[in-house]
Structure 1
Amino acid sequence: MAEASDGSWDDYIDAVGRALALPIEDAWRPAIRANLEVSLRMAKLVDEFSLPDETEPASVFTA
């Protein structure tokens, strides 16, 4: 969802709430909307960061 208006965020919140069977109180909506907007901005930064083709994933270390 790219740069959603408040209305489409509300539609998204409603759809996800229904899909996950989560009750969403109206008082929570501003905080949920703010969290989605911040998450979308962070995801956009990661998505736009280009890596060279020869980039390899880091090794996985376990303790």
Structure 2
Amino acid sequence: MAADHLDNYIDAVSKALALSVEEAWRPAVRANLDVSLRLARLVDEFPLPDETEPASVYTA
């Protein structure tokens, strides 16, 4: 995602959540969002066979 798209996304989400993002924070917010999106893309692109089942959930 291009930096201008990330800036637009940050503006839209901060407005929707009524959060103020100071200009000094924007580079760090943009960098964290960029890393999160790259990691999510890796997970999304990982091929799984159709017979894969979700892991069991254990509770104590």
| TM class, shorter-length | over 0.9
Percent identity (aligned): 70
Say yes or no: does 1:30 pair with 2:48.
no
Q: Which residue in the other structure is 1:39 paired with?
A: 36
Query: How high is the TM-score relative to the length of structure 2?
Result: 0.93
For structure 2, which runs of at least 5 residues remain unmatched after alignment? none
Instruction: After superposition, give the CA deviation of every residue in 1:13-63 in whole Å (9 maximum; x if it has no partner).
Output: 010000000011000000000001100110011011011111111110011
- Classify the secondary structure of the residue corresponding to 1:62: coil
Q: Which residue in the other structure is 1:5 paired with?
A: 2
CA RMSD of aligned residues (A): 0.8
For structure 1, which runs of at least 5 residues remain unmatched after alignment? none
Query: How high is the TM-score relative to the length of structure 1?
Result: 0.89
- How many aligned positions are there? 60
